Amino acid sequence: MYKVFVKDIPIILSTEKKIGSNYKSIPIKLARFKKIIKKINNGELLYVNLYHKNPEKLEKFLRKKLKVVEAGGGMVFNPKKEILFIRRNGKWDLPKGKMEKGESFEEAAVRETMEETGVKDLKVKRFITKTYHVFKRNDKFKLKITYWYEMYTDYDGELIPEANEGIKKVRWKNFEKAQKALQDSYENIKLLFPKEYLTTHPNDRVS
């Protein structure tokens, strides 16, 4: 199953015809993908499942329908088990950015994380997952596929937000503060976190 986010609303791509009573299910061969995106943007469609029995067809379908931008991103931990967050476009996010020519996904993830936050001495621990979201650039829809890596660093020096990328803050956040930040983050970012990060006390407020 894939979740492709459009304004935090997921388009589901799955091998199942029925995934829930709220969902409009459409075989991918009949799906008008850009029209579906426009309906979601207009608030006309909230639950949609595009399906095909062959799971390998699902990402191929996405790559045919929209121009793809591939990126790398990092979930960085320090010795205190804090996670490195950035503040951009009024939301808490994790550092990520577009691959450059000749880079691997892992190399892009490390470079972008360093550039956007000023963190150093990163060690990649493992690949986490891919996330998918639709954005609009020059009046055209594009699909960003981000390859996420778990990283570790002992660095405790100054963190420097990359201002020309619109980043306002860079912060280490412990478990409690990360929980609060995720209430003011993106749905595709939440997919990277274990469930315990997404369950907060009702009195918690985003700060």
pLDDT in tens, 136-169: 988 899 999 999 999 999 999 999 999 999 999 9
Identify whether 115 is part of a domain: yes
> Position of tokens 């591939």?
70
Does residue 119 contact residue 98 with C-beta atoms inside 8 Å? Answer: no
Residue 41 has pLDDT above 50, yes or no: yes
DSSP conformation class of 191: T
- How sure is the predictor about 207, in pLDDT bands with cuts at 50, 70 and 90? very low
Angstrom distance (rounded) from CA 37 to CA 44? 10
Residue where a domain terminates, one of 22, 44, 65:
65
What are the backbone angles phi and psi of residue 38, rounded to the nearest 5°?
A: -65, -40
Identify whether 206 is part of a domain: no
Identify whether 135 is part of a domain: no
Identify whether 53 is part of a domain: yes
CB neighbour class for 144 (10 Å; exposed up to 12, middle 13-18, buried from 19): buried
Identify whether 155 is part of a domain: yes
- How sure is the predictor about 206, in pLDDT bands with cuts at 50, 70 and 90? very low
Residue where a domain terminates, one of 20, 49, 65:
65
Identify whether 44 is part of a domain: yes
Tell whether 95 and 194 lie within a shared domain.
yes
Q: Note the pTM of the prediction, 2 decimals.
A: 0.91
Tell whether 88 and 179 lie within a shared domain.
yes
Tell whether 8 and 53 lie within a shared domain.
yes
Instruction: Say how many CA atoms lie within 13 Å of 155 toward its Cβ.
Output: 20
Domain count, the chain: 2
Tell whether 191 and 114 lie within a shared domain.
yes
Which among 39, 109, 20, 118 has a CA at the least distance from the CA of 72?
Answer: 109
Tell whether 61 and 96 lie within a shared domain.
no
Tell whether 38 and 93 lie within a shared domain.
no
- Domain range for 84 is 73-129+143-198
Other C-beta atoms within 10 Å of 130: how many?
A: 17
Residue where a domain terminates, one of 34, 65, 96:
65
Does residue 178 contact residue 85 with C-beta atoms inside 8 Å? Answer: yes
Read off the pLDDT of each residue in 48-68 and give the average, rounded to a whole number: 95
Tell whether 110 and 172 lie within a shared domain.
yes
Identify whether 49 is part of a domain: yes
Tell whether 46 and 30 lie within a shared domain.
yes
Does residue 1 contact residue 12 with C-beta atoms inside 8 Å? Answer: yes
Tell whether 7 and 99 lie within a shared domain.
no
The CATH code of the domain that includes 194 is 3.90.79.10
Tell whether 86 and 152 lie within a shared domain.
yes
Number of H helices, E strands in the chain: 5, 11
